Structure 1
Amino acid sequence: MKKPILLLMLVLAGVAILSFWQSPAAVLYSLVAAVKSAAQPNQTASLSETTLQIKDKNFNQSAMLQASPFAKNKTIDLSSDEVKTDPHLNSILNTPDKEIISPEEAARRKKMETLGYMVPADYLTKDLQSLKKLAKSGDAYAMVHLGEKYYFELNKNPDNPDYDPQTDYANQAKSTFKDALVAGNIRSAGIIAELYLQENNRVDAYAWHLISDRLGDSISADWFRTTKVYTEASDQLKQAAKAKLPVLIAELDSRSKAANRTPIFKS
């Protein structure tokens, strides 16, 4: 018991000596590394806890942080160039919080990844308002993830803190995926087809499959061809789906013009 404590005291003493010629940033990193290596499992000092303290939502990033109790009141300005250029402190300050997801959500994302629908990982941790802002600026990735949130997280889920009882999330999700499609995310048509499949709307699902096929999205189109709706589709269903194509194409072209984009279907 005494040996670890003695070791920790020796390490901290060494850090104090180094502090006379090290930069404040280097002192802080040395202190964090020392505590992390010397601490036992039952001790509270750790790199992760230091990270949490620095990344506390209520922490003022322009405030002064005490570098070390042995550093003669040396302080670190988190907005200074010294911190910005220090790779070790940057790794602490900029480490994103780990997202916690349910097994169902993990399975859904795996399926979306298999179908090629996934967005870059950093988008998965963005909150609803950030995604809305990016989507409004024309970010197709944000639109895709926003649509996923609408349909799979907020739809019929009043326990979600972002839930708005006045919003029809199922239709809002489809509208957002349509915007993503005209913004350049070709697989959004396949996502819409899948949403209609979940709602057992076979005609609309088949119609959006035809949109995917026309756009050359072979991944989505080939996947749809494996579904029971496709393999058991009657001629009547196929004709009804084809009849919807002109209306869907006109809607997409209208969205393209509203967003000042080139229509995805040639006139």
Structure 2
Amino acid sequence: MKTVLFFVIASVCLLLMRNHDFVESVSAKTAINDSAPSSIGPAGISGPALASPSGSPFERLAGNKVDKPALILERKERMKKGGYFTPEEYFSMSLTQLTARAKSGDMYARLQLAQQYYFESNSLAFEEGFDFDMNSAELGKKYFSDAAVAGHVLITSVLIQLYDAEGDALHAYAWQLFADRVGANYRTQQDPRQLSAADQEKARQLAAQLFNRAMQPLALTPAAGGIK
């Protein structure tokens, strides 16, 4: 009887120890992920965000514990690196407020939404106003492109680098052609020779569409969305 009781107790202890080790392992991995630096490139592009800019709804649950002041500081740094900014009050606006302003053509709201959806979607959690109907990275690029065609030509350089970092040479080249047409500067030079003749033609067509949008007299009103 004592032997049976011993094995029962030992088994329970072993299970508790394994569970403890599992919790410690998960905690350690979480700590490593939380402390990992966000290498910011010359246009304010964060490496880890580019690797997984959108995230799943389950990943976004982790955003409940996000340090919002630190997140805002990182966003400011990305914007500074990219050469653009918004007034201070826009950094504390909710997604609902920003979306409403963006629909009215507010350039600053578009830039904030672009930054948050592309780089910070995992931290937005289930914040009121979060758009679940579209991939977050694509939505972020949509807001960036809306700002670019509405007259914020510095954003063309950001878009070229985003698409280039994603390996999308066609759209990167299309934005370069658009930048050339509107006289915008950019840091990343695209080589059209890496594209087929058919893709080069597609890029030219996309650039023409962007330019036509930019030339509309009501370019600051809600745009029909970015390319792709």
Distance, in Å, in 1 between the alignment partners of 2:196 and 2:188 is 14
Deviation at 1:138, TM superposition (A): 1.5
Secondary structure of the structure 2 residue equivalent to 1:144: helix
Matched, 1:260 2:227: no
Deviation at 1:202, TM superposition (A): 2.2
The letter for the 2-side match of 1:159 is: A
Matched, 1:125 2:92: yes
Secondary structure of the structure 2 residue equivalent to 1:117: coil
The letter for the 1-side match of 2:81 is: T
> Which of residues 183, 188, 201 in structure 2 aligns to 1:224?
188
1:147 touches 1:176 (CA, 8 Å); kept in 2? yes
After superposition, what is the alpha-carbon deviation per residue over 1:131-187, rounded to whole angstroms, capped at 9, x for unaligned? 112112211121111111221122x66734244433222222222222212322112
- TM-score for the superposition, normalised by structure 1: 0.47
Q: What residue in structure 2 maps to residue 250 of structure 1?
A: 209
1:141 touches 1:185 (CA, 8 Å); kept in 2? no
RMSD: 3.1
Structure 1: runs of 5+ lacking an equivalent: 1-97, 263-267
Flag the 1:174–1:252 CA change in 2: closer, same or farther, 3 A: farther
Deviation at 1:99, TM superposition (A): 5.6
Flag the 1:178–1:238 CA change in 2: closer, same or farther, 3 A: same
1:158 touches 1:165 (CA, 8 Å); kept in 2? no
Matches within 5 A, 1:21-60: none
Higher relative contact order (CA 8 A, sep 6+): 2
After superposition, what is the alpha-carbon deviation per residue over 1:21-57, rounded to whole angstroms, capped at 9, x for unaligned? xxxxxxxxxxxxxxxxxxxxxxxxxxxxxxxxxxxxx
Give percent identity, aligned residues only.
Answer: 28
Matches within 5 A, 1:3-82: none
The letter for the 1-side match of 2:70 is: I
Matches within 5 A, 1:89-238: 100-102=69-71, 106-107=73-74, 109-154=76-121, 159-162=125-128, 163-218=130-185, 221=186, 223-225=187-189, 230=190, 233=191, 235-237=193-195
1:150 touches 1:172 (CA, 8 Å); kept in 2? yes
2:173 touches 2:203 (CA, 8 Å); kept in 1? no
Distance, in Å, in 2 between the alignment partners of 1:245 and 1:213 is 12
2:82 touches 2:158 (CA, 8 Å); kept in 1? no
Question: How many aligned residue pairs are there?
Answer: 152
Whose helix proportion is higher, 1 or 2?
A: 2
Deviation at 1:114, TM superposition (A): 2.5
Q: What residue in structure 2 maps to residue 21 of structure 1?
A: none
Distance, in Å, in 2 between the alignment partners of 1:250 and 1:117 is 24
Flag the 1:211–1:199 CA change in 2: closer, same or farther, 3 A: same
Flag the 1:177–1:136 CA change in 2: closer, same or farther, 3 A: same
Structure 2: runs of 5+ lacking an equivalent: 1-66, 221-228
Distance, in Å, in 2 between the alignment partners of 1:241 and 1:122 is 42
Flag the 1:203–1:106 CA change in 2: closer, same or farther, 3 A: farther
Deviation at 1:247, TM superposition (A): 2.5
The letter for the 2-side match of 1:176 is: Y
